C-alpha cells in the first residue's frame, strides 16, 4: 500500500449524494432506490460524511450514524455507527481508507463517545483499526416436518397471527423491551421501522411480503416462497425473531413449525440460542453458516469497561495496545459485586490485549481463552487468564439490533 498525496479529504455537502450513492452501489452491488436514500439522509447529515477526492471526483466515502448500544447489565451507551465505507475500485491500495478513517475517528475522539461500532462486509479490514467482531450469528436451515418439541413444553399460549398494520403498532414496544436486556442491541430508529414496514419489493429477495406472528413478549416476521421444481412446497425466511422471555421463544417456534406447506425455515440466531434444547432431535436445525454481526471498538476504555457488568469479581491490570488511535494504555480493573472501577495505572500488566480483541470480548460473545490459544491474549499467570476469561461472561448472548 502507498499513500497518494494527490488525494484530498473533505466533508460532503448536499450536492455530493449522487456521487456517494454511486460509490456505494459499486462497493456493495446494489443501487439504492429513492426511498432508501431518503431514509439514509434522515440518519446522518452530509457534514458527517468524509469524502476522499481525486481532484473534484469523489473516490472514497465513510459516514456514521448516532447510535446507542446496550451493554451487559442493561446500560445503553452512546456510540457512533460507522457505515457506507468504500473506496472506488479505480483507486485501491493508495492509503485512502486509512486516511478517511483517521480523520473520521479523530472526530470521534473529540466527541467523547465511549464506543464506535460497525458491520463489516469483509472480515479482514477492520481489526487493524481496533475493531473486533463482538456478536455472532448462526444461520440454520430447519426442516419443520421433523421438528418435534419436547413433550414437557407448555403449549404456545398467547401467540397470534396479525396483519402488517397490527404489527406496526405492536412490534416497536416488544423490540424496545428486547433491546433493553440484550447486549449488542441498538434501539431501532423510526426511519428504520418505516423501511421495515414499507416492505418494498427490492428487499424481498423473490419471496412474499412479510407475515407476522406476535406474542405479548416476542414476535417473528418471515417471508414465504415456492421452491422451484416442487409441487406446492414452500420455504420460509425469518427476517426478524425477537423474544423477551423464554416462554415467548418457545411459543413462537411451536407456531412456526406448525405452518402447513412450509417445508424449511432459514433463520439466523445467536450462538447458544436455546432453540436446540426445545427439540427432541437437536440435529434437525442444520448449520449453514456462522457470521459476525456487530463490530466494536472501545474509544474510551475506562468509560466503556466501567459501564457494563461482570460475572466474577477480580483485580487485574490490563494493558491495551492501540496502534491506530489513543485509547491504549495500562488500566487497573477492580470488579466488585459485578461493577468495575477502571483507572489508568503504572503497574505492570497481568493481561495484555489489542484493542480489537478487547472489542471482541466486550459484549460477552467470545472467551479470552480462545484468543489466548492464538497468542492474542497474553497473561502473566494461569490465575490472571482464568479470571479475565470468566469475568467477561454474560448470562444472555449478545445480538445485533439492526444492520447499518
Instruction: Give the rounded distance of the alpha carbon of 86 from its chain centre.
Output: 19
341 backbone dihedrals φ, ψ, rounded to 5° = -110, 120
Does 97 carry a binding-site annotation? yes
355 is in an annotated binding site: no
Cα dihedral 118, 123, 125, 127 sign: positive
Q: Please tell me which residue in 101, 265, 392, 404 is annotated as part of the active site.
A: 404
* 403 counts as catalytic: no
Q: Is 85 annotated as a binding residue?
A: yes
Q: Is 387 annotated as a binding residue?
A: no
Helix, strand or coil, per DSSP, at residue 212: strand
Closest CA to 357 of 171, 127, 150: 127
**Residue 126 bears catalytic tag:** yes
Length of the chain, in residues: 404
**Cα distance between residue 300 and residue 304, in whole Å:** 6
Q: Which of 283, 213, 208, 209 is nearest to 255 (CA)?
A: 213
**Angle between the N-to-C axes of helices 34-43 and 190-198, in degrees from 0 to 180, rounded to the nearest 10:** 160
Question: Who contacts 110 (Cβ-Cβ below 8 Å, separation ≥6)?
Answer: none
Is 98 assigned a ligand-binding role in the annotation? yes
If you count DSSP H runs as helices and E runs as strands, how many of each does the chain have, helices first?
11, 19
95 annotated as ligand-binding: yes
Say if residue 347 carries a ligand binding annotation: no
At residue 56's C-alpha, the angle toward residues 53 and 57, to 5°, is 60
From the list 126, 140, 362, 392, the catalytic residue is: 126
* Residue-wise DSSP of 314-326: EEEEEEEE-SSSS
Catalytic residue list: 126, 404
Binding-site residues from annotation for acetyl-CoA:
85-87, 93-98, 121-122
Binding-site residues from annotation:
85-87, 93-98, 121-122
Amino acid at each position: 500500500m502507498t499513500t497518494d498525496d494527490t488525494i484530498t479529504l473533505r466533508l460532503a455537502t448536499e450536492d455530493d449524494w449522487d456521487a456517494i450513492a454511486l460509490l456505494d452501489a459499486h462497493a456493495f452491488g446494489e443501487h439504492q432506490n429513492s426511498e432508501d436514500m431518503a431514509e439514509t439522509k434522515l440518519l446522518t447529515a452530509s457534514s458527517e460524511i468524509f469524502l476522499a477526492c481525486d481532484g473534484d471526483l469523489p473516490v472514497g466515502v465513510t459516514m456514521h450514524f448516532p447510535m446507542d448500544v446496550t451493554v451487559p447489565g442493561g446500560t445503553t451507551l452512546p456510540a457512533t455507527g460507522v457505515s457506507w465505507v468504500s473506496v472506488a475500485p479505480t483507486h485501491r491500495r493508495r492509503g485512502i481508507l486509512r486516511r478517511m478513517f483517521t480523520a473520521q475517528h479523530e472526530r470521534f475522539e473529540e466527541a467523547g463517545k465511549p464506543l464506535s461500532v460497525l458491520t463489516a462486509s469483509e472480515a479482514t479490514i477492520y481489526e487493524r483499526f481496533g475493531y473486533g467482531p463482538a456478536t455472532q450469528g448462526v444461520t440454520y436451515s430447519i426442516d419443520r416436518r421433523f421438528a418435534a418439541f419436547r413433550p414437557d413444553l407448555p403449549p404456545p399460549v398467547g401467540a397470534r397471527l396479525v396483519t402488517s398494520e397490527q404489527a406496526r403498532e405492536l412490534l416497536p414496544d416488544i423490540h424496545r423491551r428486547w433491546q433493553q436486556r440484550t447486549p449488542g442491541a441498538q434501539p431501532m430508529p423510526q426511519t428504520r421501522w418505516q423501511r421495515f414496514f414499507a416492505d418494498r419489493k427490492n428487499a424481498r429477495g423473490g419471496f412474499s411480503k412479510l407475515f407476522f406472528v406476535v406474542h405479548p413478549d416476542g414476535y417473528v416476521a418471515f417471508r414465504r416462497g415456492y421452491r422451484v421444481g416442487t409441487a406446492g412446497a414452500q420455504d420460509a425466511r425469518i427476517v426478524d425473531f425477537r423474544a423477551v422471555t423464554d416462554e415467548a421463544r418457545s411459543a413462537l417456534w411451536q407456531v412456526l413449525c406448525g405452518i402447513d406447506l412450509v417445508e424449511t425455515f432459514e433463520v439466523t440466531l445467536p450462538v447458544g440460542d436455546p432453540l436446540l434444547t426445545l427439540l427432541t432431535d437437536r440435529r434437525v436445525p442444520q448449520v449453514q453458516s456462522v457470521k459476525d454481526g456487530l463490530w466494536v471498538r472501545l474509544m474510551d476504555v475506562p468509560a466503556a469497561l466501567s459501564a457494563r457488568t461482570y460475572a466474577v469479581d477480580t483485580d487485574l491490570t490490563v494493558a491495551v495496545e492501540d496502534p491506530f488511535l489513543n485509547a491504549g494504555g495500562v488500566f487497573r480493573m477492580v470488579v466488585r459485586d459485578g461493577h468495575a472501577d477502571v483507572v489508568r495505572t503504572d503497574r505492570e500488566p497481568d493481561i495484555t490485549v489489542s484493542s480489537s480483541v478487547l472489542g471482541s470480548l466486550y459484549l460477552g460473545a467470545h472467551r479470552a481463552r480462545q484468543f489466548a490459544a492464538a497468542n492474542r491474549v497474553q497473561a502473566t499467570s494461569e490465575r490472571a487468564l482464568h479470571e479475565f476469561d470468566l469475568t467477561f461472561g454474560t448470562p444472555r448472548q449478545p445480538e445485533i439490533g439492526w444492520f447499518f
